[in-house]
Amino acid sequence: MRDNKRTLVLASLALGFALLPFTIGAHHGTNQSYDRSAPVTVMGVVTEFRYKNPHPQLFIDVTDNEGKTTPWAIEIAPTPYTLAMRGWSRSRSSEALKPGTEVSITLAPSRAGTPVGLLREIVDADGVQIFGDLRGPLRAGPE
């Protein structure tokens, strides 16, 4: 009986370790979803900003030369906690990205060709960088 329990425990552990890479890859599919080697810059108007876990999201309307408007969804890779540690609290982010704000966004586009991307940089209409390299050093910022 004791050998059966031991065998069951060892088999369960082996199966768990064998499946671990699949569960990790399921959530962290950023490199599969976005083409980081071919950044794209779009200009648009903020329609919504969500400062939520697991990743904040920004929504903008992009109007082309013919006047056609396309809604874009942009994922902001750091978590809200990481953004706050870099000085981007909920209130500061929401103020900088309130609806109606004109922005130029550089992003890693969706590999599927949809109007979705992973944020690299946001610059406002005055040329001021709102978000830049979000992998920079951590620092506490104002609320």
Which pLDDT tens digit goes with each residue over 53-98? 888 999 999 999 999 999 999 999 888 888 888 888 889 888 999 9
Neighbouring residues of 48: CB distance < 8 A, sequence distance ≥ 6: 57, 58, 59, 99
Residue 137 binned pLDDT confidence (cut-offs 50, 70, 90): very low
Q: Please give the Cα distance from 59 to 79 (Å, whole number).
A: 17
Non-local CB neighbours of 132 within 8 Å, separated by 6+ positions: 121
Mean pLDDT of the chain: 81
Question: How much is the pTM?
Answer: 0.72
Higher pLDDT, 80 or 139: 80
